[in-house]
Amino acid sequence: MTQRLTPESASPVTNTVADQPAGQPSPAPEASVTDDTESGIPIAANVRAPRGAGTEGSRNVIFLDREISQIAFNRRVLAQAEDRQVPLLERLKYLCIVGSNLDEFFEVRIASLLAQNTVDGELSQDPAFRQQLRKISENCHQLAQRQYELLNTEILPQLAKKGVRILRHNDRNEAQRAWVKAYFEREVKPLLTPIGLDPAHPFPQVVNKSLNFIVSLAGKDAFGRGTAIAIVKAPRVLPRIIKLPEEISGNCMAFCLLSSVIHSHIEDLFNGREVINYSQFRVTRDSDLWVDEEEVKNLRQALQGELQTRQFGEAVRLEVAKNCPKELSDFLLAQFNLPPDRLYAVDGPVNMVRLGELLDYVRQPSLRFPPFTARFVTKANGLDMFSNLRKHDILLHHPFQAFQTVIDFIRSASLDPNVVAIKQTVYRTGMNSDLMESLITAARHGKEVTVVVELKARFDEEANINWADRLQQAGAQVVYGVVGLKTHAKMALVIRREDGGVLRHYAHLGTGNYHPSTTRFYTDFGLLTAHQGIATEVNEVFIHLTGLNKPKKLEHLWLAPFGLQPQIIKAIRNEARIAREGRPARIIAKMNALLDESVIRALYAASADGVKIDLIVRGACALRPGVPGLSENIRVRSIIGRFLEHSRIYYFRNDLAHDVYLGSADWMNRNLFRRIEVAFPVLDKALKKRVISEGLDPYLKDNTNSWVLDSEGNYERRKPRGKQPSFCAQNYLMQQLGSLSHTDDD
């Protein structure tokens, strides 16, 4: 079976988005999710889904399009760049995030959509599919156009007023032009290799998302032939933003783009020829990896080979400069076998993401968000961590509370002579990781270390392969999950021999990755627990992953692909039953995406029975809220802020039991059936209240960064009404849980 590897929706660079400037401390939320009078949505206990709503023919009536919903998410991110209350460099960062998100959208979603609808090399002519492609194209072109409009009319001019200028060739004075020319001759020209196209010099391999130039030439070459087209590839080792020396920058910080440097001196590469026209260009390619998991003997070795070819997948998008002549863009489209609607002519650098390098140079506090420091969770009464955990669980809310506690948990285990075994899953952890180093240390100290490394975590494959090698060399047992499934669950287990020789289990479960960068920018929950029921079930999951045996019946954990979706639907139906019996029923769920049709149908049915449902869905959502007879008791909102909303929380009122589950899974088919996922309960009543009061209540009250979805798939930003004070959930949590600094020029 050849499997198309599906992506994780978020890489550290791609998905980090930022929030509005923090203001004064906000008041606590006025209403709790356990207050059933808070919603304001009428309960219609007898409302049922429309007749025929379950048929395939009505599918478009009851489900929103996934791709269009994903583009709408990027519009919400772009709105942060439009917000003039957001500091300028943060607005620029939002533009870069939208660019990165669009890159991945084409590399993954569009590439997958095209592959699914291609037979024998021919793209399907199905009218519905063609209409979907047209709508996606229109939306993406509008989004890209607005990106560059914001860049050129607002952000760059306002940065210039603040003393930060990106100089084009016409903007540079004589001294600056001389310096740029010297830089080109010294640093750039020696690395460039122009290729004149002829039968002996075919069109070169162009790397995914790389900067390139196409040049139209007149006259004869050195051999008397009229080669008319040349290609110049910009080496990736060169910086895309170049800072000019202070002595020639005037009263500002001056920069120029590598593309501008090459543009200004491209004629120097073609001695004796006349350059007629030229343009920068960039091609985006399918970045899926293809492996036959049932045939390969070693998945790690197979993936190492595939990584070499990822940069040259099928082309899915072409970007050129706005002034690129049509004959050159047509030539490129033909070379990459792309239709005209896959061409994006942009008014600026073809890779806006690389403008993010500017943030590394400019340190003006007034151009950035106020600094924020996560609060450390200290050990009570000086007790060691394991003694502390035997007394009570520890709930961590990142990034408001530091991830260091988790690092300390694994490090303590690696050095503790009473610890006999450590087990951990690794999905994303980055190139540098204290956690991984601690696991290596534990293995070298003779502890039984088992690590389930997911080699197919998109764009982290190389880092994970490297960690797998190092762990094995240290003596750890490394496995790569289950064939055909990604191991996405976030779990760590420590087994310790204690008084009387009894083995005791300690576990960490989380909603986010063991990654040092994302824990500072993603909102996630983590639970450290010595609850033996939960911890021993974590061990059962590890045994299932390594031994490939059938998992035992679990009393506490919900495990995908076996029981997670049925458990979610069972809990939804239980709320529906409670509502039908005339008692208050409530569901609140927070996640990155909601796409699984069976779960959505269960939510529709619960809404018709009178269950009040609030969904906090950051990205794509296929559920249509507020449809009479189908979903009038369902509200959907999306929060876009300084931090990337990443935690998954499932809340069911359940006759005042207030069941709270945290997990690694969105309500998507891939998470529920094509991944190893774990959802875990929060059993401690105090910690359960914390999840509700920190992870749900503030987001339902947010009227600053909250967007409400209507039944047509449109999002409207919430604003304070009348004299209602503004409330930003993330600012509130920073004030309550962390340490937010303010500068004099805020």
- Residues 380, 362, single domain; the answer is no
Amino acid identity at 1:
M
pLDDT band at 311 (very low <50, low <70, confident <90, very high): low
Cα(335)–Cα(218) distance, integer angstroms: 21
Q: Are 229 and 202 in contact (CB under 8 A)?
A: no
Comparison of pLDDT for 619 and 288, the residue scoring more: 619
- pLDDT computed for residue 722 by the predictor: 87
pLDDT band at 2 (very low <50, low <70, confident <90, very high): very low
Cα(456)–Cα(200) distance, integer angstroms: 38
CATH number at residue 181: 3.30.1840.10
Amino acid identity at 201:
H
Q: How many domains in the chain? A: 3
Residue 569, CB half-sphere, CA atoms under 13 Å: how many?
15
Burial group, residue 132, by CB count within 10 angstroms (0-12, 13-18, 19+)? middle
- Residues 242, 349, single domain; the answer is yes
- Residue 343's domain comprises 171-367
Answer yes or no: is 338 within a domain: yes
Comparison of pLDDT for 635 and 381, the residue scoring more: 635
Least confident span in 76-90, 188-202, 621-635: 188-202
Tokens of 231: 């290609």
Tokens of 245: 């020396």
Asked whether residue 618 is marked as a ligand-binding residue, the answer is yes
- pLDDT computed for residue 43 by the predictor: 27
Residues in the chain: 746
Q: Are 136 and 68 in contact (CB under 8 A)?
A: yes
Answer yes or no: is 281 within a domain: yes
pLDDT per position as a tens digit, 38-83: 333 222 323 333 433 434 445 567 999 999 999 999 999 999 999 9
- pLDDT computed for residue 379 by the predictor: 54
Q: Are 634 and 615 in contact (CB under 8 A)?
A: yes
pLDDT per position as a tens digit, 471-511: 889 888 988 877 778 889 999 999 999 988 899 999 999 99
**pLDDT (average), residues 251-277:** 92
- pLDDT computed for residue 431 by the predictor: 73
- Residues 222, 312, single domain; the answer is yes
What percentage of the chain exceeds 70 in pLDDT?
85
Cα(510)–Cα(397) distance, integer angstroms: 10
Answer yes or no: is 131 within a domain: no
pLDDT per position as a tens digit, 582-609: 999 999 999 999 999 999 999 999 999 9
Q: Are 575 and 564 in contact (CB under 8 A)?
A: no
- The residues near 156 (Cβ < 8 Å, ≥ 6 apart) are 166
pLDDT band at 543 (very low <50, low <70, confident <90, very high): very high
- Residues 363, 379, single domain; the answer is no
DSSP conformation class of 410: H
pLDDT per position as a tens digit, 632-666: 999 999 999 999 999 999 999 999 999 999 999 99
Answer yes or no: is 42 within a domain: no
Answer yes or no: is 121 within a domain: no
Tokens of 256: 């120029």
Backbone angles phi, psi at 333, to 5 degrees: -60, -40
Cis peptide before 399 (omega within 30 of 0): yes
pLDDT per position as a tens digit, 416-466: 999 999 999 988 877 778 888 999 999 999 999 999 888 765 656 667 778
Pseudo-torsion of CA 487, 694, 377, 380, nearest 10°? Answer: -110
- Residues 336, 408, single domain; the answer is no
**pLDDT (average), residues 259-280:** 92
On the question of pLDDT at 13 being above 70, the answer is no
On the question of pLDDT at 11 being above 50, the answer is no
On the question of pLDDT at 532 being above 80, the answer is yes
Angle between helices 434-444 and 461-474 (to 10 degrees): 20
pLDDT band at 739 (very low <50, low <70, confident <90, very high): confident
Final residue in a domain of this structure, among 550, 581, 615: 550
- pLDDT computed for residue 309 by the predictor: 54
The whole-chain average pLDDT of the chain stands at: 86
On the question of pLDDT at 408 being above 80, the answer is yes
Asked whether residue 101 is marked as a ligand-binding residue, the answer is yes
**pLDDT (average), residues 713-739:** 93
Residue 477, CB half-sphere, CA atoms under 13 Å: how many?
15
- Residues 535, 623, single domain; the answer is no
On the question of pLDDT at 22 being above 50, the answer is no
Least confident span in 29-43, 169-183, 374-388: 29-43
- Residues 615, 501, single domain; the answer is no
Number of H helices, E strands in the chain: 24, 33
Comparison of pLDDT for 352 and 295, the residue scoring more: 352
- Residues 420, 526, single domain; the answer is yes
Least confident span in 406-415, 476-485, 532-541: 476-485
DSSP string, 612-644: EEEEEESS-B-B-TT-TTTTTTEEEEEE--SSE
Asked whether residue 522 is marked as a ligand-binding residue, the answer is yes
- Residues 599, 723, single domain; the answer is yes
CATH number at residue 380: 3.30.870.10
On the question of pLDDT at 573 being above 70, the answer is yes
Answer yes or no: is 600 within a domain: yes
On the question of pLDDT at 326 being above 50, the answer is yes
Among 191, 198, 232, 193, which Cα is nearest to 215's?
232
Rounded to whole angstroms, what are the CA distances from 409 to 286, 439, 444, 454, 625?
40, 11, 18, 22, 42
Answer yes or no: is 7 within a domain: no
Beta strands in 427-467 (DSSP E): 448-453
Cis peptide before 561 (omega within 30 of 0): yes
Alpha helices in 445-595 (DSSP H): 461-474, 518-521, 532-547, 564-580
Answer yes or no: is 153 within a domain: no
Final residue in a domain of this structure, among 499, 531, 550: 550
**488 among known catalytic residues:** yes
Cα(630)–Cα(317) distance, integer angstroms: 38
DSSP string, 340-367: GGGEEEESS-S-GGGGGGHHHH---GGG
Cα(634)–Cα(616) distance, integer angstroms: 11
Spot the catalytic one: 265, 397, 488, 544: 488
- pLDDT computed for residue 598 by the predictor: 97
Comparison of pLDDT for 8 and 114, the residue scoring more: 114
Backbone angles phi, psi at 48, to 5 degrees: -120, 160
pLDDT per position as a tens digit, 123-176: 899 999 999 999 999 999 999 999 999 999 999 999 999 999 999 999 999 999
- Residues 597, 731, single domain; the answer is yes
Asked whether residue 458 is marked as a ligand-binding residue, the answer is yes
Final residue in a domain of this structure, among 525, 550, 575: 550
Q: Are 685 and 693 in contact (CB under 8 A)?
A: no
- Residues 348, 456, single domain; the answer is no
- Residues 330, 398, single domain; the answer is no
On the question of pLDDT at 307 being above 70, the answer is no
